[in-house]
Structure formats: C-alpha cells, structure tokens
Structure 1
Amino acid sequence: MKINVIGAGIGGLSAALSLLAAGFDVRVYERATALSEVGAGIQLSPNATRVLHGLGLEKELALTAVKPLAFHQRRWDDGRTLQRAPLGEPVEARFGFPYYHMHRADLLAVLAGALPAERLHFGHRLTGITDRGDRVSAHFAGHADADADVLIGADGIHSPVRAALFGPEEPRFTGCVAYRGLVPADRVRHLPLEVTVDAWLGPGRHFVHYFVSGGRVLNFVAVIEQDAWTHESWTDRGDPADALAAFDGWHPQVREILRAVDETFVWALFDRAPLHRWSRGRVTLLGDACHAMLPFMAQGAAQAIEDGATLAACLAGAGADPAGALRRYETRRLGRTARLQAMSAANKTRFHLPDGPDQRDRDAGLAAGATGWSFDAIAWLYEHQAG
C-alpha cells in the first residue's frame, strides 16, 4: 500500500516512521523548503516514548533529552509547593518508559534522520486533493501530482487537508497568549533550579520552565490571559520587557529567568472543538489537524505520535478496505483525544484561579494527590499502548 503524508512536523514524521515499520511505501510532503523550528521545548510522556522507543529511536533521543526528576507545581508569589509528583526513574519504573524534555528541533532531527531521505519531499505546497475511489491524488503548486492508496493530513491546526474534507473553519482563540523563550543554562546557574518541570500557578496566568538540549538550555513558557488575538503563529517575536511586566510581583525566580532571555516569541493559543469524524474515503487526519488542544496537559505532540502508531496498526489489517481501516483508526482515537482536549481546556481555568476559595480548594486537591499529575491520576494516560 502506498501512503502519502502531508506535513513533516512531529506528527507527520512519526506517523511515517510507524507506517514504514509496518511495511508501507510512505512519502512525506512538506511545504517548507527545510525543517526548521524556532526555539521551543516539548514534553514527551511514557505513552509517547513507548512508541518512539519501539521505532528504534531510544539511543538518538537520549543524546539530547533530559529526564526531569519531578513535576513541581508552585504558588506564584512565594514559591510554595502545591504538588510535587515524581518523574525520572520512578515514572520509568511504573510505566516502563521515560519521561523526556526535549527541544523540538532536536526531536525533529531524530525523526527526520530515521526516515530515508528519498521519502521526504520539501517545497511541496498542497493546493488540493482528489479521491478517485481506488486512489487519492495530492496536487501541489509547481510540482506533479502524487498518487497513493491513502492520504494523511498531518498539516497542523490550519490544515488544508481538513479544509478539503470538511470545509473551511477558523480555529478559536482560547483567550491565552504564551511568551516562550530559551535561556542558556549558564545564565541561571545562580538560581536554585532543579532538573524538574516547574509550573507556577497564579491569578490569570502561569509560568512553566524546564531544561532541554542535554541540560544546556532552559526552556520557559509564560502564559497570560488576553481578550483578543488576530492570528496564530509560532514565530511572532515578542518583547521580553512585556513578558517581565506581565509577571510583576511574581516570585523572584520567575522574574530572574525572564530577565535572562535575549528574545521571546509570542504565541497565541488556539484550539478547535472535537470533530465527530476525521476520515472520508481514503483520506484521514492526525495531530493538530484533527484535535488541536491547549498545551496544558503537555499532550499535543504525544497524541499525534499515538495517532501515527494507531493508524499504522489499523492499516496493517486493512486488506482491500483502506477506508474501513481509517474508520477504525478514528474510532479508536476520537474519545481519547477529545478527553484530553477537554482536560487541557479545563486546566486553563484551574491554573489561573484568582486567590480565594476556589484556589484554596484546588491547592488542597493537589496536596492530596487527587488531581493533576499524581501517578494514580495519570495512569490511564501514561499506560496507554497505541495500536
């Protein structure tokens, strides 16, 4: 079976590797002329690393990945611990695979390096698709059509494949904007930083930081609530002074990290309502193209990686009915991804509670391990075996 994947992000590349491992003839088409990623970190939980290790990428990932010791939720002003959930060796012992922090560019390099170069085509901007019943054609600006038995849209929140299947629909602004940046670790050596993921929760905003790139760089994301935004982009430059002003009065450690950065990028957070279906005929979607979610469960990339593994398993048993396999794939994935979309959206409210009774109830729940990232609360997510 020949399969074309539109989009060479984390979801598209990992899906291509899962499909290639299952024996399919896979090609990936990317509109950009080269792989690139503006500085940003990513969290990979055991449900994702289980898939990536299964693809034989364990050694390559370990070269730049950081294993955090804990997930540490803290109060915004005094730094008081609200919850500290172990990661590192305890999470690996419990769930069988590690929890990693990585730079997105490092992960993309590992995925692309594992895919034979002749299967990855840059500079291909999709202009349309045609499902002919027995095959599906992808049309590109300035390039010949590419025919296949199945086409997969892994082309992000503004997916042209999704628009071709179900019509145009604008993603919805969630009322949050994120400043993100990278700080050389040497600049923050004077701070008492552990190898953890720290999430500082406060009224109307929160701040997350963790090490990436083998511990050489500190990644941060500073999320604030904002009334309006006109477009979604990963690459709009922000002013570090604006981010610092937004966290006026916060704990000195938060403000010292913000003072240490040279440049920030401002990222408006968009999502979409869950779809009732992802597939039509020989075409389907994965990742942000079908279940874009807020990053407040750190599961966007992980769910795209799960998508690819599940899709490969379903197609492996397709026989002469690839359309039926795509329906089975979406059936297996719809409920799980919709649940995580809803949980991610709920965390926006939970993370940003103003000081008061609701905030005190949240903090009591965190201390009791009843919510958030305790092992018992998160087992359903981390134990999952995609397929």
Structure 2
Amino acid sequence: MSSTKAPVSTTKFRVAIVGAGLGGLLLALFLQKYSTDIDVDIYESAAKLAELGAGIGVWPRIAGTRDSAEMALYYRKADEPEEVDVRAIEPALLTFRRSDLQAVLVKHLQAADRIFYSKRLAAYVEPKAGSLDPIVLQFKDGTTATCDLLVGSDGIRSAVRRTMFSELADAAKDNGDSEQAAKLRSMIDPVWSGQVAYRGVVPVDKLEGSAFTDIDKPVIFIGKNKNVISYPISRGEAVNIAAFVRTPGGEGTTYEGPWVTECTGPEVAEKFEGWSSGIQDLLKAMDKPLDWAVHTVRELPTNVSGRVALIGDAAHAMTPHQGSGAGQAIEDGFILATILSHPSVKLSNVSKALKIHDELRRSFAHGVQLASQQNADLYHLYRLGWEHITAAQSSKGDYPREMLDAIGDELESAMRWALHGSILEDQQKALKLLEQL
C-alpha cells in the first residue's frame, strides 16, 4: 500500500503589500532579487495602474553611480520681470515620467499576476502578540485575504496606518494614558502643508517660440510665497511642471474643499502675475493641470507594529521640496527587502526584524521630511533675512544681491546628503544589526 506525502512548503512567510505605487512595486522587485522563499501579493485599490504622468527625480544616493544622463540643477529667482541666477548644483539628477517608470517595474516583476486590482483595504486584523496565525485583510468589497506580514504602501491616506494607530491609541487608552491615546489618534489623518501645487506636463513642441527656453534642464524658480519646478522627462520630449502657491499661516490647518481638482494653464499663470515672461508662457502652456492641496503625515513614533510595517507616503509623506518623496519610498523598499530576505529572519522573529527597519529608516526619512519644509522656506523667501522683504520689494528687485548668495549656500548644503551619500551604507548597517537578531 503506497501513500503520498504532502509537499513540504519552502516559503518562509507570505508578504502582502497594500498599494502598487513605486514604493510597493520596488519592494516586490527587491524581494524578488534577494529571496526565493518569500511569496508576495500586491493589493491595489485602482482598477488598473494609471499613475499620473507627472515626473520624479532620482539623486546619486539612490542611483548609486554617475551617469551621462544626469543633469545639473539650477536655482533662479523669477518673481520679478528679469530672472536672477541663484546657484547651479553639479550634475546629479535623473528624471523620469512616473507612469513610464511604473510600467517598467511591472514589466520586470515576475509575479505581476499577483497584483490584485480593485482591492481597497478597509482594515486588517492582526492576531494577539506571540501568535503566528495569519493577519487577515478586510477589503471594502467584502472580501478577505491573509498574509504573514503586511506592508502598508498605500499612500498618504493609508488604511494600514489608520488601523495601526487606531489600535495603538486603543492600547494607550486601555493603559490609562488618554493623552497619549489622543496624540496617537491625531497621527492617523494627514495635515495640510499650507501649499497648493499645480501639476502638469507640457510637450516641448508646445513651447516653441515661447519665452521659456529651459526645456533641457531642471530649474527651480523661487519667489515670495511661491515657486515653480520644471524639468525634462520622456527623453526630453516633455517638460514636467509643479507650481506651488503658499498660504502664510496655512501649515497644519484643515484644507477646505477637495484635495485634487482640475484647472487651466491661464488660471495658474494668473496666480504668478508679475513673474518672468518665461514662467508666464510655461504655465499658460499647461493643458488641464491638476490643483493639488499638498498634505503631509505628522512625525510618527513608529512605522511598525507587530508584523505590520509602513513605507513611503504612508509612513512619511512630505512636501516635494527636496525631490525625495519617491526616493524615500525606494529606500524603504530596498532596506526592508534586505532585512526580510536575510537568512536569519523567520516568521518567528520577523516582528523583531521590522524594528531594525524602523530604527534605520524612520528617523532618516523624518530628517528628509524636515529638510523639505526648510527648503520650502528658502524657495518662498521666508528665511535668512528674506522674511523682512515684502512681496512688492522682492518683485521690484529691491533687496541686496548678497541675500541670494546666502540662499544658494544654504540650498547647496541642504542637498549634500542626496548628492554624496549612499543607500548602500544603510544596507550595511542593516546587515550588521541582523547579525545580532
């Protein structure tokens, strides 16, 4: 009489990634590269991947090598009729159209068939501490799924963060600490940065004959309470634009109205009245730009709880003024994949391993988040004596020119970490910490 034994599973644990944006996709790709015994499922709320065509930039810290495609970054003051050069930073920036990069990532993902669409997470249920039972995912369509480890890469309005911090707040309340409970609950929802961004992409042929000529380089145009960022994407066929308008005193307040609406190029240009003719022509050329209320996430005391982790905007959504929001999501995915794929990490100790990720990534990303806001203060002429210069004086050029040199020096210093550091250094730190696991 013969018997057949069930095959022995070679999977050490199953990872569920909620959110198929850049952070989630790159985490899956890094896991694919570094491990053969981790199963990955991705749950995406959208019916298909249709990211906006906006651009992103990648710095040498992540790119890891100098490349002929890297471009110098230029800063100019443009809230007066004639633009004034402020500073140029060495060639360092690689730019991409976000949707193009996302499509490439999916193409190289061997488990692309494990991306489940139209799956919007409502909440998750994690077993009691010490139990190795699966985590249960509850979706808004009424279906459920299970995993051993959950990664929330679901953006600034993260459902994973909502469940995590609701449970942490409940635990604090049960322990009699109502003040801590209220503080934890305040971290669930995003907060308004006080800024609105008008985002769009303009084909370069639409700019022919215009006063805007910087189609081949990244430029940050600064001015009182406002700034404009432009850089080439899609192999130089288009220019990505983000124009920011700041409401003094608006940071931390509640934004009234929808976060994203559609507007027109001329409407955006009107908000930059008095700026250079090049900026006026650039903004007018935008076709149906999107009006985004820029929100951020408060500084979180932890990005992990049990067998659940937050990455990317779910953990540290920031203003884009260091061009590092997407980059920090990439770093999260790289370090987390390094940790999870390590031979010493098993289901029984994965919660301890996640604490290593939290130790390495949370404070660093928060530092970038703070630096992004400090850069915004420089772009909007809020610091280094500029707070005493009125918008009217700024637009007339009524200020000492050495004040621009001070801004240039500060900006160059603020971007040094992205130009000269390396994420590989943090990977080595992670490997050393894993030896003690």
- Given the two structures, how large is their TM-score scaled by the length of structure 1? 0.87
The Cα shift of 1:111 comes to 1.3
Identity in percent: 29
2:411 counterpart SS class: coil
1:83 counterpart SS class: strand
Q: Distance in 2 between matches of 1:339 and 1:216?
A: 34
The Cα shift of 1:110 comes to 1.1
The 5-angstrom pairing of residues 37-186 of structure 1 reads 37-50=51-64, 67-76=69-78, 77=80, 78-87=82-91, 91=92, 99-115=93-109, 116-132=111-127, 133-134=131-132, 135-142=134-141, 144-167=143-166, 169-186=188-205
The Cα shift of 1:335 comes to 1.5
Contact 2:150–2:308, Cα closer than 8 Å, also in 1: yes
Q: Which has the larger radius of gyration?
A: 2
Aligned residue identity for 1:239? T
User: Which stretch has the larger CA shift, 124-133 or 151-160?
Assistant: 124-133
The 5-angstrom pairing of residues 140-289 of structure 1 reads 140-142=139-141, 144-167=143-166, 169-190=188-209, 191-193=212-214, 195-226=216-247, 227=250, 229-230=255-256, 233=259, 235-289=260-314
Q: Find 1:331's aligned residue among 325, 344, 359.
A: 359
2:235 counterpart SS class: helix
The Cα shift of 1:170 comes to 2.1
1:152 counterpart SS class: strand
- Given the two structures, how large is their TM-score scaled by the length of structure 2? 0.77
Please list the CA deviations of residues 31-70 of structure 1 after superposition, one character each: whole Å capped at 9, or x if unmatched. Answer: 11100122311111123334xx9xxxxxxxx9xxx93521
Contact 1:71–1:373, Cα closer than 8 Å, also in 2: no
Contact 2:61–2:417, Cα closer than 8 Å, also in 1: no
How many residue pairs match? The answer is 361
The Cα shift of 1:383 comes to 2.5
Q: Distance in 1 between matches of 2:358 and 2:84?
A: 42
1:8 counterpart SS class: coil
Aligned residue identity for 2:272? F
Contact 1:124–1:143, Cα closer than 8 Å, also in 2: no
- Quickly say closer, same or farther: Cα 1:335–1:362, change in 2 above 3 A: farther
Q: Distance in 1 between matches of 2:50 and 2:234?
A: 16
The Cα shift of 1:177 comes to 0.3
5+ residue gaps, structure 2 = 1-12, 167-184, 390-399, 428-437
The Cα shift of 1:314 comes to 1.6
The Cα shift of 1:313 comes to 1.4
Structure 2 equivalent of residue 349 of structure 1: 377
Aligned residue identity for 1:173? W
2:62 counterpart SS class: helix
Q: Distance in 1 between matches of 2:141 and 2:34?
A: 31
- Quickly say closer, same or farther: Cα 1:276–1:356, change in 2 above 3 A: closer
The Cα shift of 1:211 comes to 0.7
1:175 counterpart SS class: strand
1:10 counterpart = 2:22? yes
Contact 1:278–1:290, Cα closer than 8 Å, also in 2: yes
- Quickly say closer, same or farther: Cα 1:323–1:72, change in 2 above 3 A: same
The Cα shift of 1:380 comes to 6.9
5+ residue gaps, structure 1 = 54-61, 92-98
Structure 1 equivalent of residue 40 of structure 2: 26
The Cα shift of 1:376 comes to 8.1
RMSD after superposition: 2.4
Please list the CA deviations of residues 290-309 of structure 1 after superposition, one character each: whole Å capped at 9, or x if unmatched. Answer: 10100000000000000011
2:362 counterpart SS class: helix
